[in-house]
């Protein structure tokens, strides 16, 4: 019933469409078995990011070091999709091992933002305007936006689902940390990595999320059933009292926090204007807007890049060219005797520039010289970021709160149900790299997405409605370029259903 009518019905058509945007790096042959299998996701075409293991196709993580790697097993999330009858159409392009924000660090080449094709603006004399699809799950977002699949799995460590969703004009959901199994997902930074879903609308994203949110004994960080139950009871109780799905479009009683730190100087005036329009309409429908402060968010980006790089440097150590990864053939006996040179040759040839940069950065942060000043400080900031979120949400954090305070803290008038902020500081940046820009300029793309990652809380980016005449006029004056921008909803850990319901109301 909710099957995608935009999707290309044959693999051949899909291959032709994909050639325009390079969203898929592998397209699976049509499988009669999966297409006819009964289940909750029967016939749903789902794309899978190329850092999630599939046994019937390569899993390259967009890296030369894993160019020919085929996993002997399916990731738990892939098993769940197949079990429910989904049709896994292929593997999607991404930044190497998930490290990047623009999907330009890929051995398969960049993914193009499909907006010119979907908006019908592609016929200009200058050809298609080439902009980034965002990253790192750029292939997943672009595949959905182009109508090449109904939904896609992505991973989000610091924004990698929400940022490309924002740039491509689709819905992207990073669930609470620990709800979706990471077994079979190639680790980037384990304490931050989340598997999530991208789709054209909130209902399809919810539908897939419902099927993959389950306790998995194979993932040591998977949230225990009791914890899931406790959190979702809080969220459901709140949802029932709000009755958002009554169909009246009314948002009476919903308390939306606007975190002041999420409007940095880097935010484009056009995005700010569009965001204001969303706030006006939410307010007009009865929602209460509450200015809040999450003071430590300003330090989140720096802390994130220290922690993520530190974990990455440890995770990347397994690609030694012997057990995992590419081995450069050598005839020289001296070379073979020198293990360090076997490592160095394979890793220098196999890892791209951004991965090498992260390994160096992370290794440095973990050295005894730097540990106290960088890694430990970043861990402290992370705790402060978590505390900031707990301080503003009316729903308690069941992972940390004591029983008594869990019971007592609801209904506090200063607190909010969810937070709302622009997903990104602007619309999709141009694809052609500006040589004057340093890698740090691309780190800035993640400014607004990393706080929720550090705190492990659910975050959903939905396309910002840009059609209202009022908005178009005001935003146009601010230099709005007409490309998609997203709005993000953040909730307390385990309030994923509430976040999705509010996202549906915003969209």
Catalytic residue positions?
A: 49, 136, 160
Nearer Cβ to ligand GLN (22/445): 445
Residue 151, Cβ neighbours under 10 Å: how many?
27
Buried b (16+ CB within 10 A) or exposed e, 233-250: ebbeebbeebebeeeeee
d(C-alpha 489, C-alpha 498), whole Å: 10
Q: What is the nearest approach in angstroms of ligand GLN to the Cβ of residue 305?
A: 7
Residue with tokens 């978590």: 386
Residue number with the shortest CB distance to ligand GLN? 160
Q: What is the nearest approach in angstroms of ligand GLN to the Cβ of residue 119?
A: 26
Please say whether the dihedral angle defined by the alpha carbons of residues 86, 87, 88 and 92, taken in this order, is positive or negative. negative
d(C-alpha 111, C-alpha 115), whole Å: 12
Q: What is the nearest approach in angstroms of ligand GLN to the Cβ of residue 446?
A: 5
d(C-alpha 400, C-alpha 260), whole Å: 25
Structure tokens at 133: 């699809």
Contact footprint for ligand GLN (CB under 6 A): 98-101, 136, 155-160, 188, 308, 446
Nearer Cβ to ligand GLN (100/503): 100
H or E, element range at 283: helix 269-284
Q: At how many degrees (to 10) do helices 269-284 and 469-477 cross?
A: 150
Q: What is the nearest approach in angstroms of ligand GLN to the Cβ of residue 165?
A: 12
**31 CB contacts (<8 Å, ≥6 apart)?**
87
Q: What is the nearest approach in angstroms of ligand GLN to the Cβ of residue 100?
A: 5
Nearer Cβ to ligand GLN (14/454): 454
Structure tokens at 90: 């292929």
d(C-alpha 194, C-alpha 453), whole Å: 9
Nearer Cβ to ligand GLN (158/456): 158
Nearer Cβ to ligand GLN (34/427): 427
């Amino acid at each position: 019933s909710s099957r995608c009518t935009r999707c290309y019905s044959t693999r051949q058509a899909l291959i032709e469409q994909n050639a325009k945007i390079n969203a898929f790096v592998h397209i699976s042959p049509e499988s009669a078995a999966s297409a006819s299998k009964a289940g909750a996701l029967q016939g749903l075409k789902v794309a899978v990011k190329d850092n999630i293991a599939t046994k019937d196709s390569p899993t390259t993580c967009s890296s030369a070091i894993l160019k020919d790697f085929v996993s002997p097993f399916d990731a738990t999330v892939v098993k769940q999709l197949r079990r429910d009858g989904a049709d896994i159409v292929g593997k999607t392009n991404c930044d190497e091992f998930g490290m990047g924000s623009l999907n330009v660090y890929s051995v398969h080449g960049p993914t193009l933002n499909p907006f010119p094709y979907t908006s019908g603006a592609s016929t200009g004399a200058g050809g298609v305007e080439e902009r980034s699809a965002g990253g790192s799950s750029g292939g997943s977002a672009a595949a959905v936006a182009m109508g090449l699949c109904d939904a896609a799995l992505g991973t989000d460590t610091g924004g990698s689902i929400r940022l490309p969703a924002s740039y491509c004009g689709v819905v992207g959901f990073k669930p609470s940390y620990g709800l979706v199994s990471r077994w079979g997902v190639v680790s980037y930074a384990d304490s931050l990595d989340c598997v999530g879903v991208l789709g054209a609308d909130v209902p399809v994203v919810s539908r897939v999320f419902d099927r993959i949110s389950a306790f998995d004994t194979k993932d040591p960080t998977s949230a225990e059933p009791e914890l899931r139950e406790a959190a979702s009871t809080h969220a459901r109780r709140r949802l029932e009292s709000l009755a958002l799905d009554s169909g009246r479009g009314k948002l009476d009683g919903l308390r939306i926090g606007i975190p002041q730190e999420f409007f940095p100087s880097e935010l484009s005036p056009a995005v700010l204007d569009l965001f204001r329009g969303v706030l006006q309409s939410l307010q007009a429908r009865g929602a209460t807007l509450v200015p809040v402060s999450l003071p430590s968010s300003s330090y989140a980006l720096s802390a994130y890049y220290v922690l993520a790089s530190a974990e990455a440097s440890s995770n990347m150590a397994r690609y030694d060219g012997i057990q995992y990864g590419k081995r450069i053939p050598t005839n020289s006996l001296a070379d073979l005797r020198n293990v360090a040179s076997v490592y160095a040759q394979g890793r220098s040839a196999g890892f791209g520039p951004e991965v090498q940069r992260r390994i160096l950065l992370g290794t440095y942060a973990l050295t005894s010289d730097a540990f106290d000043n960088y890694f430990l400080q970043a861990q402290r900031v992370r705790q402060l970021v978590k505390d900031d979120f707990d301080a503003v949400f009316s729903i308690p954090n069941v992972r940390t709160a004591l029983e008594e305070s869990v019971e007592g803290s609801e209904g506090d008038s200063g607190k909010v149900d969810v937070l709302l902020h622009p997903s990104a500081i602007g619309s999709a940046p141009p694809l052609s790299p500006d040589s004057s820009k340093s890698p740090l300029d691309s780190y800035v793309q993640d400014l607004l997405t990393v706080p929720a990652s550090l705190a492990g809380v659910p975050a959903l980016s939905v396309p910002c409605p840009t059609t209202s005449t009022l908005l178009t006029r005001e935003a146009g004056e601010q230099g709005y370029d007409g490309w998609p921008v997203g709005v993000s909803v953040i909730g307390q850990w385990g309030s994923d259903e509430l976040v999705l319901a509010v996202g549906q109301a915003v969209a």
